[in-house]
Structure 1
Amino acid sequence: MKITVIGSGHLGATHAAGMAEIGHDVIGVDIDPTKVDTLNTGRSWFHEPELDALLARNIGAGRLRFTTDFAHAGEHGDVHFLAVGTPSGDDGAYDLSQLSTAVEKLSPHLHRPCLIVGKSTVSPGTARTIEDLARRLAPAAEAVELAWNPEFLREGTAVADTLTPDRIVIGVSSTEAEKTLRMLYAPITANHGCPLVVTDLSTAEMVKATANAYLATRISFVNAIAEMCNAVGANVADLAEAIGHDTRIGHHYFHPGLGFGGGCLPKDLHAFTHQADTNGINAAANLLRAVDGINQHMRERAVELARVAAGGELSGRCIAVWGAAFKPGIDDVRDSPALDVAQRLHDLDAHVTVYDPQAMAQAREAAPALRYAPSAAEAAQDADLILIATGWPEFGTLDPYVIGDRVVRRVLVDTQGVTSGTRWRSAGWMVTGLGHQP
């Protein structure tokens, strides 16, 4: 099938490459010529495991290319995916300006029947608004139809989530739209046994935010329990392991730590809260605010743990913060708990040096006032305290004796539980964590 994907960010570039991989003829579209030029070389402009190989293979095969030309995209596509950003507005609701702009740029070039498919995360009612806008601007008018197909990509596993998803959800208002999307996704549903859930537009629009609100709730729940464990001397990591074996609960998204960040969970939680407020559903709004409140509180807890570990005073202390990305395996620092904690420590007059295996350039841009080092060991040089803020596995493999030779005081605050407390303590370190002894 002839497909376009509007937007070439974390979602759009991966989706375009994935659709080409399953055999479709794909054009990715973006307004940023630098991103387009980079992608056309077979490389991504952001770090995502396996994506560069996918891009290079399909560009080489002639199934994939990227452009800034909306006219070319409109002429090419029978199906047009919308994969642009919907960031949080000032009131917490989704800012739909990129979505509207994409439709405004694409629609004047739609001269024949086609299907526009939204992948961006939005609130219910958006699809109808976008369909009305497209039909008003498109020469094909009523022959343009809209469906919604929410994305469930996780940074770090986005390629696998595209090619072997655990479900595909489509919201449609006609049997023809359903038929088109069943054909489009047939290589995935037929070969991998992936369930395809067909529903109405409003339900499809709600699915992604609902899923992320639930995942955020799980994370905040286990972090709330972490504080209770800390108060009574229990180990939250062991507790989570124990109750996670209950099949009704499970282990996924049940790891105690600094909480969630990134470009999706916080944004979707805030938008879901706004939606509950708008509809007067106070119980839901209060629950979601509590989830967000716990998430922010964990960052404050980490700073307080650092203050206590540093002897009660942060001003003038040299602190190494290991980790800047919002989770391991990626280079994204959007709303990163790790970088936020580092910045808070800096704002309390600590001398903070940050190291991250992937996100150094992004961290420097987001938090230029901090110091940065090219390795964990160099970040630890002359430190009074080391704080592990992102759960990179490499931090758990470091030699506590080697690191101990670099620091002024052997004090470790492991907020992610990636180190062996026994191993580090045997090397003379004082080790603490969030609600558990790592």
Structure 2
Amino acid sequence: MRVSVIGCGYLGAVHAAAMAELGHDVVGIDVDSEKIAMLENGQPPFFEPDLPEILSRAHESGRLTFSTDITLVADCDVHFIGVGTPQLPHSDAADMQYVEAAFEGLSQHMRPDAVIVGKSTVPVGTAQELANKLQAIHPNASLIWNPEFLREGFAVKDTLEPDRVVYGLSAKELESGDRARSLQVLDDVYKQILATGTPRLVTDYATAELVKVSANAFLATKISFINAMAEIAEATGADVTQLADAIGLDERIGRRFLNAGVGFGGGCLPKDIRALIARAEELGVGRSVTFLREVDDINSRRRERVVELATEVLGGSLNGKRVAVLGLTFKPNSDDVRDSPALDVAVRLKGLGADVVATDPQGIPNAEQRHPQINYELSTEKALQSADLVLLVTEWDEYKQLDPTFVGSLVREKNLIDGRNALVPVQWSLAEWNYFGLGR
């Protein structure tokens, strides 16, 4: 099929390459000419495992092109909208200007019978509003909402081998059941994926829009819950990791995402839960998600706790103390530093007078653009040199595999805060380190 993808950021670029991998002819559209130039040369504008390989294969096949010219979508059968919905500068609500601009551009150049597929994470009610506008402009066109569930570091796999696909249809098409035109078109797009037995859920617009934000809200709640238990563990001498192991064996709860530490970040969870709160308040049901404000507050407190602990470990003052910060991205296998707990902690330590030297395998260029006041060092060994405190805040494999004895030969003082509880405490203690894990 002829497919367009509007928006070639993290979501759009991965989706465009994946659609070409499935055999479709794809054109990716974005207003950022620099980003488009990189993608046209087969270079991802961000770090994501496996993306360079499928991008290269797509280019070699001739099935994938990128452009700033939206008129190239004119002969496409299906149009995916994958633009960002960041948090507004002075509000918790989502900024919808990019979705609106993408829709406006498409409506002017699309075939009058084409199918638009929304993938952006939007406030509930957006799809119906867009569908109403589309009906007025192109009565024979269709809109379907198909939320994405990508995990950074696993985005290619999550696109080509998703654990489920969700279709949000209009009320009229829902009445048509399996005969619904947009459903049939999207089934054709995802034919190879569905053939593997991937579950397909067909819902109304509102449900499809809520699936993504509610999933993120649930994950954020689970992470903040165990971090709340970490606060109690620290006050009582309990071990939150053993606690998580114990309650995680309960099938109703499960162990995944019960990892206490410095908290969650990135471009999705923080802004999505805030946007959900904002939208619920607009709908007059804000009380239903009041607990999410506490989820957000707990997450922020964990960053503060790391800074407090660093101050305590170093005798009450950070002034002039050399702190080696291991990790800058919000999670490993990514170069994303948006709302990153690791970068936030590094900035806070710097503000309190610490001589911060931060390192990360992928995140330094993005971190430098946001906070040039921090000293960055690509070499882990150089970052550790003469440190008074080592702080692990992003659990990259290379940091988890560090040898305590070797690291001890590099630093000035053997003080370690494991902000992700990613290390084995006894190994570091046996090497005469002062080991501090959050909630342990």
TM-score, normalization by structure 1: 0.96
The reply on whether 1:360 has 2:364 as its aligned counterpart is: yes
1:77 counterpart = 2:76: yes
Secondary structure of the structure 1 residue equivalent to 2:107: helix
The amino acid that maps onto 1:40 is: E
**1:346 pairs with 2:343:** no
Residue 106 of structure 1: aligned partner: 106
Map Cα deviations across residues 198-244 of structure 1 (whole Å, 9 max, x no partner): 00111111111010000000000011111112222221112212221
Q: Residue 177 of structure 1 corresponds to which residue in structure 2?
A: 182
Counterpart AA for 2:112: R
**Does 2:152 match 1:147?**
no
**Corresponding residue number in structure 1 for 2:177:** none
Moved over 6 A (4+): none
Query: 2:402 is matched with which residue?
Result: 398
Q: How many Å apart are 1:135 and its aligned residue?
A: 5.0
Conservation of the 8 A alpha-carbon contact between 1:212 and 1:268: yes
Q: Distance in 2 between matches of 1:418 and 1:393?
A: 9
Of stretches 295-304 and 401-410 in structure 1, the one that deviates more from structure 2 is: 401-410
Task: Please identify, of 112-121 and 175-184, the stretch whose mean Cα deviation from structure 2 is larger.
Answer: 175-184
Residues 121-270 of structure 1 aligned to structure 2 (within 5 Å): 121-135=121-135, 141-173=138-170, 174=173, 175-190=180-195, 192-270=196-274
Alpha-carbon contact 1:103-1:133 (below 8 Å) kept: no
Match of residue 393, structure 2, among 389, 392, 405: 389
Match of 1:87 in 2: 86
Of the structure 1 ranges 275-284 and 48-57, higher mean CA displacement relative to structure 2 is found in 275-284
SS where residue 56 of structure 1 aligns? helix
| 1:388-436 Cα shifts (integer Å, max 9, x gaps) | 1111121122222222222221100111122222121222210101102
Matches within 5 A, 1:21-32: 21-32=21-32
Q: What amino acid does structure 2 have at the position aligned with 1:187?
A: Q
Superposition RMSD on alpha carbons, in Å?
1.3
Q: Which amino acid aligns with 1:51?
A: L
Q: 2:339 aligns with which of 335, 359, 373?
A: 335
- Is structure 2 residue 316 aligned with structure 1 residue 317? no
Structure 2 distance, partners of 1:122, 1:372, is 36
* Cα distance, 1:43 vs structure 2: 2.2
- Between stretches 83-92 and 275-284, larger displacement belongs to 275-284
Identical residues among aligned pairs (%): 48
Q: Residue 392 of structure 1 contacts residue 418 of structure 1 at CA under 8 Å; is this kept in 2?
A: no
Could you say what secondary structure the match of 1:325 adopts?
Answer: coil
Describe the SS at the equivalent of 1:84: coil
Given the alignment of the two structures, is residue 36 of structure 1 paired with residue 36 of structure 2, yes or no?
Answer: yes
Tell me, yes or no, if the aligned pair for 1:4 and 1:76 is still in contact at 8 Å: no
Determine if contact 1:393/1:418 at 8 Å carries over to the other structure: no
Deviation for aligned residue 1:366? 1.4
Deviation at 1:134, TM superposition (A): 4.1
Q: 1:177 Cα shift?
A: 1.4
Superimposed CA distance per residue, residues 183-203 of structure 1 (whole angstroms, 9 cap, x where no aligned partner):
22121011x210010001111
Code of the aligned partner of 2:16: A
1:17: how far off? 1.1
SS in 1 for 2:56: helix
- Give, in whole Å, the separation in 1 of the partners of 2:298 and 2:285: 21
Unaligned runs of 5+ in 2: 174-179
Q: Is there any run of 5+ residues in structure 1 with no aligned partner, and where?
A: none
Identify the residue that residue 50 of structure 1 maps to in structure 2.
Answer: 50
TM-score by length of 2: 0.95
